[in-house]
Amino acid sequence: MLNAKEIRKDFPILERKVHGKPLIYFDNAATSQTPQVVIDCIVDYYQNYNANIHRGVHTLSQEATDKYEEARITIQKHFNAAKPYEIILTSGTTHGINMIASGFASLIQKDDEIIVSALEHHSNIVPWQMLCEKTGAVLKVIPMTESGQLEMSVFHDLLNSKTKLVFCNHVSNALGIINPIEEIIEAAHKVGAAVLIDGAQATPHIKPDVQELDVDFYVASAHKLCGPTGVGMLYGKEEWLQKLPPYQGGGEMIETVTFEKTTYAGLPHKFEAGTPNICGGIAFGAALDYMNSVGFENIHAYEAELLAYANEKLNAIDDLKIYGDSLEKTSVISFNIKGIHPYDIGAILDKLGIAVRTGHHCAQPIMDFYKIPGTVRASFSFYNTKEEIDLFIEALQKAKMMLL
């Protein structure tokens, strides 16, 4: 069983104070905190073997290359990709999504159809709109219900022979709802469509098996997995990655260059132009090792306890409404208190040392559906505690008294 109080010792930032109060960090859906072992990994890189990777004959370059490629294998094994070169290291989830959108511009034709869900982050809406504008394809949307779930019967009706791509988040960043991606992938494949799953919000809580899912593309960010910002991964089935053109031109992604013709390198380098975030990639591997040492089954069980506890406490507050109140959720709660703007609640909670996220969470269509300007979002991780939730509820009651 997970011991959160012991685990908290791994995270030095949790010792600090904000406005004279002990930090209570409930903004994990935006960015998780970083354990000392990952911080040490970053320091070790810059202190001992900072060098550019691949093709270097000197010792530092070879050491950095080995560590970077070892991290790729760690990521491959974590997500159970068939081959290391099916893992493309990116700057984050948004980068991975844009790589696929750019690549499909050469494969999509006028009047082809692309399907996204109503629960998407802006990063999984805007690139497809841009692709449709460029190609003449048509963007269709799976609607959502009042409880924040997708209307799957409508999705099945939308699928047809013109459907070329389906995109859906594994977990809604705004609501924490877990989407039925297995059903989505299977149904899309029956009409010959490719599927990309945005795993940014799922991967801190769920350990996806990309081969078992039979997904074509899966993207994630390290900074939501106890890793650094500015690095992430794109998984793609080998056959799809071979079909797609490079996203950028530059160093590393070439085999030969003359002024007459350039030939491209094989996978994964075809999609990794330029000097990468070497330290970030290595630290991403270290972060996954750390989380696996805690155990995703332990994380899931403990966070489910926190979610149930917080739900019970919040539902006892008069005039408080939770959005996306579903059984199939990760440890995220989005809510409002009647008559109070979410920003005002967030500002008062900050003065009491409590970090939450307020606003539309880059998911404006969801807020438009509910006809609200935004929500307060509290998101819990395996290093949070029920005692912190109790202090959060007290602070929320205080904010309510001050603002009404």
Domain with CATH 3.90.1150.10 in the chain: 4-30+295-403
User: Is 298 exposed, middle or buried (CB count within 10 Å of its CB: 0-12, 13-18, 19+)?
Assistant: middle
User: What are 180-223's pLDDT values in tens digits?
Assistant: 999 999 999 999 999 999 999 999 999 999 999 999 999 999 99
Q: Pull the structure tokens for residue 295.
A: 């155990």
Number of H helices, E strands in the chain: 14, 17
Is the pLDDT at 376 greater than 80? The verdict is yes
Is the pLDDT at 399 greater than 80? The verdict is yes
Backbone angles phi, psi at 275, to 5 degrees: -70, 120
Is the pLDDT at 269 greater than 90? The verdict is no
Average pLDDT over residues 103-108: 92
Q: What is the pTM of this model?
A: 0.95
Q: How confident is the model at residue 262 (pLDDT cuts 50, 70, 90)?
A: low
* Calpha distance 25→383 (Å, rounded): 9
Candidate CATH numbers 3.40.190.10, 2.102.10.10, 3.50.50.60, 3.90.1150.10; the one for domain 4-30+295-403:
3.90.1150.10
The confidence score (pLDDT) of residue 208 equals: 97
Q: How confident is the model at residue 255 (pLDDT cuts 50, 70, 90)?
A: low
Q: Is-contact 90 96, C-beta < 8 A?
A: yes
Task: Give the three-class secondary structure for 111.
Answer: coil
Is the pLDDT at 254 greater than 80? The verdict is no
The confidence score (pLDDT) of residue 72 equals: 98
335: CB partners within 8 A, 6+ apart: 314, 320, 321, 322, 323, 375, 376, 378
Is the pLDDT at 364 greater than 60? The verdict is yes
- DSSP track, 195-223: EEEE-TTTTTT----HHHHT-SEEEEEGG
What is the percent of the chain with per-residue pLDDT over 90, rounded to a whole number?
A: 87
Class of the 39-293 domain? alpha beta
Q: Which secondary structure element, helix H or strand E, spans residue 346, and what is its range?
A: helix 342-351
56: CB partners within 8 A, 6+ apart: 62, 64, 65
Q: Where are the alpha helices (DSSP H) in 126-231?
A: 126-135, 152-158, 181-190, 210-213
List residues with catalytic annotation: 362
Q: Pull the structure tokens for residue 88.
A: 């493309």
- Window from 123-132, 306-315, 330-339 with minimum mean pLDDT: 123-132
Domain with CATH 3.40.640.10 in the chain: 39-293
Across 240-339, the runs of DSSP E, i.e. the strands, are 254-257, 262-264, 320-323, 332-337
Q: pLDDT: is 260 or 267 the higher one? A: 267
